[in-house]
Amino acid sequence: MEQKELINFFIKEIENLGYDIQFIPMSNKVIINTHTLQCAINPSLVTPFSLAHDLHHALNKDDCRLRQCDTVSQHESRANIGAILTFWELWLDNDGDYEHFDLFCDVTGCPYEQSWMVVKSKYDEYYNTAI
């Protein structure tokens, strides 16, 4: 799994939902509008995580943002968790493991601390192992 490969994968996933993708230099990494099915991507800033995050906004049909830095809203939290779990499944499917969690975060762009908490709470019981 390489960043470019992941970026292309998530762009295709968003397109497959019927979104029109435009590559635009802007201050944001990605902006998605679930009403107009438009997605703007800054090719120089985009990360796999930012695309997966916005893919989950599209899948959940999230339609509002309370304020510019809306990090505590349900929509933002749900999109982050969805993106992290999507990446973790891909990671495991490609022979990734807990031993290389730093590399997982480096490649995907997932935030380390939140990813650790999400993965541990979701998979610790399943694997019955301490992370």
Q: What is the pLDDT of residues 13-40, one digit of tens each?
A: 999 999 999 999 999 999 999 999 999 9
What is each CA distance from 5 to 8, 64, 77, 107, in whole angstroms?
5, 30, 25, 10
Domain locations along the chain: 3-47
Residue 130 has pLDDT above 50, yes or no: no
pLDDT for the residue 73? 73
- Segment 111-121 mean pLDDT: 93
Distance from C-alpha of 78 to C-alpha of 60, rounded to nearest angstrom:
9
* H/E run at residue 100: none
Q: How many CB atoms lie within 10 A of CB 96?
A: 19
Average pLDDT over all residues of the chain: 88
Mean pLDDT computed over 73-84: 89
